[in-house]
């Protein structure tokens, strides 16, 4: 067979465009009539938030490449200029579709349920009087209009904040005639106001702050006449840069960088669609942006603000049914988690199973007089974390508490800086991992004296130690007192807190040292089995696949006859279904009620099936620039649990599944005459009743 060049760009999908395709799938949930109405509104808002972050990080990175003249192309051979053009085209389509869904579908459907987003044209006389009072009492005192003249140049505009540009006629008290003014909507004010029913006439009527300011903008300019008032918002590059080779204190360096994030380079301008061309051009000039960076919207410039509506409306019939996560039976039968773990591992599948056992694990360790030491990695924790409080209690009780906090967890940097300070104040040892490598591994290690020996208990996870996201992200966590795994985790903590060469691990795989190499070897082993005419199979579930070497290994395995199923929620740069290359590879994405976050890797391995869970995706950053863990699932019960419920159930899903086509687009699976199968609903039914 003629050799195939597996580096040809036609075999790779662009990473940024693949991420935008994921956001398109999220937006489709907002259009799906089988999804409860308020959840559809949430999906619309999530698609808006996702797009914000895309521009802040991914598009901003491409902008920087163009700015500095980079012509370097990735595996897909697209230049930064070409990528920016495609981003603009696709993002404009997405934004137009978002507002079409809002205005033509969701607002009318909400109105039928007596949930109204009232525009100014819909205010009755009583409502208008109430809004006038609200504006004067609550809004006007905190507004600071800025007229543009030589003494008042164009102000610094905060990232993603709501502003208005107002055109004016006439002169002010000092005889100035500027023609333009800027009004910032204070961040201290709610963007959505719940109108009193006695004035609006409905139980759930809402007014946007932008509408309130717009209706009363003349009060800000006495003696002058506003001839136009147009909302706008700027998105800026939010990827912090710290030269880790030059800094001597990472915490101080990040503290210095955080304020600059609010005023870094602009990458997108959103304006109201009724904004005149000359005004939008003026704004583009102020932010050094081009036409491709302008997004004209028919509605609020920040759709994510509408997320408040599901929180303020008490309509259980319009949201997903509530559920109580299962507590594994073995844990409910015993109050002592250490006794339970000595009888075998416990696998937790969130959100279908409770996050509480992980909190109890640390709490019991903090209170147990036989526990000598607790070590934990923290990436994102959320506010008022019960886990953090348990670690503080352990430190106050005199136990050795070591916490590895990743300060560079994107958008959680400030929270993690404060967390580090709080833990240090109670006597915990706090370190920030390894310079140049994000600590993304999820690990807890408890060392307990039992008789004459010390025993290690561990938790390893695929997701963050965050109780709230554990209710909406699907993740796995393994609780174990396996001696070898405990020793491996102990070595990993020594790596993170001390100095010296990486110790050889017996069971765990680790980035940046062994994980990438071992994944390539296991894929190659399946290819060899297939070439020999034996059964070979790879199933991998993850958030993203971008690594070129792994993609090439999968292509080679496919060409050898290995059956490969990939369940990839977001980015996939591999192109399936290419004749002679990837005909044996099928890629699907599940987008549903819960955010799919588990990373699971299965290899048939000549019948001796190997199964791993991991904190790492198959991305270059996870495999080479982060500290990650990948842990084997060896006991039969948890192995069967994952194979049946995290792999086969997702491969048979015909409700929330999308199939990646060879052109990079996704086609939604249609059930046809098949029995409806939703993997997430199957898990809810199995664990939660």
Please give the full DSSP string across 563-616, using - where no structure is assigned.
EEEEEESS-B-B-TT-TTTSTTEEEEEE-SSSEE---EEEE-GGGS-EEEEES-
Residue 324 located in a structural domain: no
Calpha distance 165→619 (Å, rounded): 42
On whether residue 517 sits in a domain, the answer given is yes
Q: pLDDT digit string (tens) for 13-29? A: 999 999 999 999 999 99
438, β-bridge pairs: 626
- Say what the pLDDT of residue 262 is: 58
Total domains in the chain come to 3
- Structural domain boundaries enclosing 90: 10-318
Q: Has residue 521 been placed in a domain?
A: yes
Six-digit token pair at 599?
């990373």
| Spatial separation of the C-alpha atoms in residues 166 and 161, rounded to whole Å | 16
d(C-alpha 288, C-alpha 265), whole Å: 9
Q: Would 1 be classed as within a structural domain?
A: no
Residue 191 annotated as part of some ligand binding site:
no
Q: Is residue 435 part of a domain?
A: yes
Q: What is residue 152's predicted lDDT score, i.e. its pLDDT?
A: 73
Which uninterrupted H or E stretch holds 376?
Answer: strand 371-378
pLDDT attached to residue 254: 45
**Angle between helix 413-425 and helix 250-261 axes, rounded to 10 deg:** 140
Q: Give phi and psi for 497, each to the nearest 5.
A: -100, -25
Average pLDDT over residues 288-305: 95
Q: Please say if the pLDDT value at position 244 is more than 90.
A: no
682 and 556 in one domain? yes
pLDDT range class, residue 245, cuts 50, 70, 90: very low
CA atoms within 13 A on the CB side of 490: 15
Mean pLDDT of the 507-528 span: 98
Mean of the pLDDT values across residues 178-196? 91
Q: Which of 204, 349, 350, 440 is catalytic?
A: 440
Same domain membership, residue 517 and residue 486 = no
> How far is CA 481 from its chain centroid?
31
Tens-place pLDDT, residues 317-348: 999 999 999 999 999 888 899 999 999 999 99
Say whether pLDDT at 246 is over 60. Answer: no
The pLDDT of residue 494 is above 90 = yes
Sign of the dihedral through C-alpha 92, 98, 103, 104: positive
Please check whether residues 168 and 137 belong to one and the same domain: yes
* Same domain assignment for residues 530 and 490: no
Q: What is the pLDDT of residues 135-164, one digit of tens each?
A: 999 999 999 999 887 667 898 899 999 999
Q: So what's the pLDDT on residue 259?
A: 54
CB atoms within 10 A of CB 610: 16
Domain assignment present for residue 171? The answer is: yes
597 marked ligand binding residue: yes
DSSP H/E element including 386? helix 386-396
Of 58 and 251, the one with more pLDDT? 58
Name the burial class of residue 252, with classes exposed (0-12), middle (13-18) and buried (19+) by CB atoms within 10 angstroms of its CB.
exposed
Whether 686 is catalytic is no
Q: Report the distance separating Cα 169 and Cα 327, nearest Å.
A: 67
Residue 184 has pLDDT above 70, yes or no: yes
The answer to whether residues 484 and 529 belong to one domain is no
* pLDDT, average across residues 48-61: 94
pLDDT band at residue 402 under the 50/70/90 scheme: very high
Angle at 51 between CA 47 and CA 53, to 5 degrees: 120
Is residue 468 part of an annotated ligand binding site?
Answer: no
**457 shares its domain with 566:** no
Are residues 60 and 209 located together in one domain of the fold? yes
Reported in sequence order, the residue ranges of 87-169 that DSSP labels E, i.e. its strands, are: 115-117, 146-147, 163-169
Q: Sorting pLDDT into bands at 50, 70 and 90, what band is 595?
A: very high
pLDDT tens readout for residues 623-642 = 999 999 999 999 999 999 99
Q: In 3D, which of 228, 225, 76, 216 has the Cα closest to residue 137?
A: 216
Whether residue 241 is predicted with pLDDT greater than 80 in this model: the reply is no
**Residues 353, 301 share a domain:** no
Distance of CA 428 to CAs 447, 482, 494, Å?
Answer: 16, 26, 16
Assess whether 61 and 193 both reside in one domain.
Answer: yes
Q: How high is the pLDDT of residue 50?
A: 96
pLDDT of residue 261: 47
Average pLDDT of the segment spanning 526-539:
98
Q: Tell whether 96 is covered by a domain.
A: yes
Quick one: tokens of 683?
Answer: 């898990």
245 vs 269: CA distance, rounded Å = 34
Q: Please check whether residues 343 and 296 belong to one and the same domain.
A: no
Query: Is the model's pLDDT at 255 over the cut of 60?
Result: no
- State whether residue 639 is helix, strand or coil: helix
Cα 116 from Cα 650, distance rounded (Å): 37
In a domain, 5, yes or no: no
The whole-angstrom distance between residue 509's C-alpha and the CA centroid of its chain comes to 25
Residues 490, 565 within the same domain: no
475's tokens: 């993740």
Q: What average pLDDT does this structure show over 363-372? A: 97
Q: For residue 74, name the pLDDT band (cuts at 50, 70, 90).
A: confident
Residue 629 vs residues 118, 470, 510, 599: alpha-carbon distances, Å: 50, 19, 5, 11
Q: Is the pLDDT of residue 421 over 60?
A: yes
- Is pLDDT at 350 greater than 90 in this prediction? yes
CA distances from 425 to 255, 382, 407, 419 (A): 18, 19, 17, 10
Residue 293 has pLDDT above 70, yes or no: yes
Tell me the residue ranges of DSSP E strands in 5-72. Answer: none
Mean pLDDT of 163-189: 85
pLDDT cut 70: percent of the chain above it: 94
* 50 labeled binding residue: yes
Residue 431 burial (10 A CB sphere; 0-12, 13-18, 19+): middle
Tokens of 86: 């495609």
| pLDDT digits 0-9 by tens, 579-593 | 999 999 999 999 999
Domain boundary among 506, 538, 557: 506
Q: Decide which of 318, 339, 355 is a domain's last residue.
A: 318
Q: How many CA atoms lie within 13 A of 378 on its CB side?
A: 32
Task: Label residue 294 by pLDDT band (50, 70, 90).
Answer: very high
Give the span between the Cα atoms of 348 and 540, in whole angstroms. 19
The pLDDT confidence band at residue 242, using thresholds 50, 70 and 90, is very low
Helix (H) or strand (E) holding 509: strand 509-511
Q: What number of other Cβ atoms are within 10 A of residue 609's Cβ?
A: 12
Beta-ladder partners of 589: 658
Q: The CATH number of the domain where 625 resides is what?
A: 3.30.870.10
Dist. CA 97–CA 107, nearest whole Å: 14
User: pTM here?
Assistant: 0.93
pLDDT value for 243: 46
- Under the banding of pLDDT at 50, 70 and 90, the label for residue 108 is very high
Give yes or no for a cis peptide into 360 (omega within 30° of 0): no
| CATH value at residue 56 | 3.30.1840.10
Determine what percent of the chain is predicted with pLDDT higher than 90: 80
Residue 534 φ then ψ, to 5°:
-100, 165
DSSP bridge partners of 474: 596
Domain termination site, one of 294, 318, 342: 318
**Residue carrying the six token digits 């009318």:** 108
Q: CA 292 from chain center: how many Å?
A: 26
- Mean pLDDT of all residues in the chain? 92
For residues 416 and 383, give the distance between their C-alpha atoms in angstroms, rounded to a whole number.
10
On whether both 354 and 265 belong to a single domain, the answer is no
User: Which pLDDT band, with edges at 50, 70 and 90, does 660 fall under?
Assistant: very high
């Amino acid at each position: 067979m003629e050799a195939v060049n597996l580096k040809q760009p036609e075999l790779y999908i662009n990473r940024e465009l693949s991420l935008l395709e994921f956001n398109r799938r999220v937006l489709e949930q907002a259009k799906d009539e089988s999804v409860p109405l308020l959840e559809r509104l949430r999906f619309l808002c999530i698609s808006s938030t996702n797009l914000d972050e895309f521009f802040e990080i991914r598009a901003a990175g491409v902008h920087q490449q163009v700015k500095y003249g980079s012509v370097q192309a990735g595996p897909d051979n697209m230049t930064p200029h070409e990528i920016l053009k495609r981003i603009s085209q696709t993002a404009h389509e997405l934004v137009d579709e978002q507002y079409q869904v809002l205005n033509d579908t969701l607002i009318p459907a909400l109105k039928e349920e007596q949930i109204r987003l009232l525009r100014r044209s819909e205010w009755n006389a009583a409502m208008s009087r109430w809004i006038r009072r609200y504006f004067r009492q609550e809004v006007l005192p905190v507004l600071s209009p800025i007229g543009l003249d030589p003494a008042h140049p164009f102000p610094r505009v905060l990232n993603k904040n709501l502003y208005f540009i107002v055109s004016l006629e006439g002169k002010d008290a000092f005889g100035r005639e500027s023609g333009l003014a800027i009004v910032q909507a204070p961040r201290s004010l709610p963007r959505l106001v719940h109108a009193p029913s006695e004035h609006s006439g409905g139980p759930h009527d809402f007014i946007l702050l932008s509408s309130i300011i717009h209706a009363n903008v003349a009060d800000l300019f006495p003696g002058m006449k506003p001839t136009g008032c147009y909302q706008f918002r700027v998105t800026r590059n939010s990827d912090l840069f710290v030269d880790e080779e030059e800094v001597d204190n990472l915490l101080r360096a990040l503290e210095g960088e955080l304020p600059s994030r609010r005023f870094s380079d602009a990458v997108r301008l959103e304006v109201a669609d009724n904004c005149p061309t000359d005004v939008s051009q003026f704004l583009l000039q102020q932010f050094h942006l081009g036409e491709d960076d302008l997004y004209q919207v028919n509605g609020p410039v920040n759709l994510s603000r509408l997320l408040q509506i599901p929180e303020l409306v008490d309509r259980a019939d319009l949201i997903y049914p509530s559920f109580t996560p299962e507590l594994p039976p073995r844990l409910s039968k015993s109050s002592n988690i250490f006794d339970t773990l000595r009888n075998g591992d416990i696998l937790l599948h969130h959100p279908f199973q409770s996050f509480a056992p992980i909190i109890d694990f640390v709490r019991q360790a903090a209170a147990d007089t036989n526990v000598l030491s607790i070590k934990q990695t923290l990436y994102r924790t959320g506010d008022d974390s019960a886990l953090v409080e348990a670690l503080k209690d352990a430190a106050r009780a005199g136990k050795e508490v070591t916490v590895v906090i990743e300060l560079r967890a994107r958008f959680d940097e400030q929270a993690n800086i404060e967390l580090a300070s709080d833990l240090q104040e109670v006597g915990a040892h706090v370190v920030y991992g390894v310079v140049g490598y994000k600590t993304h591994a999820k690990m807890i290690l408890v060392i307990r004296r039992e008789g004459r020996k010390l025993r290690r208990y561990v938790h390893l996870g695929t997701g963050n130690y965050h109780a709230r996201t554990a209710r909406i992200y699907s993740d796995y966590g393994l609780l174990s007192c396996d001696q070898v795994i405990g020793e491996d985790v102990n070595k990993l903590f020594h790596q993170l807190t001390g100095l010296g060469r990486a110790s050889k691990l017996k069971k765990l795989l680790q980035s940046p040292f062994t994980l990438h190499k071992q994944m390539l070897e296991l894929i190659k082993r399946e290819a060899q089995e297939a070439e020999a005419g034996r059964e070979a199979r790879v199933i991998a579930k993850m958030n993203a696949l971008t690594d070129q070497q792994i993609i090439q290994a999968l292509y080679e395995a496919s060409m050898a006859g290995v059956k490969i199923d990939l369940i990839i929620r977001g980015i996939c740069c591999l192109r399936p279904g290419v004749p002679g290359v990837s005909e044996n590879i099928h890629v699907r994405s599940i987008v549903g009620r819960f955010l799919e976050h588990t990373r699971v890797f299965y290899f048939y391995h000549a019948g001796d099936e190997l199964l791993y869970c991991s904190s790492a995706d198959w991305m270059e950053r996870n495999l080479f620039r982060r500290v990650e863990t990948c842990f084997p699932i060896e006991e039969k019960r948890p192995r069967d649990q994952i194979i049946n419920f995290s792999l086969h159930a997702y491969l048979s899903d015909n409700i929330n599944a999308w199939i990646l086509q060879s052109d990079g687009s996704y086609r939604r699976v249609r059930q046809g005459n098949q029995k409806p199968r939703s993997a997430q609903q199957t898990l809810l039914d199995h664990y939660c009743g």
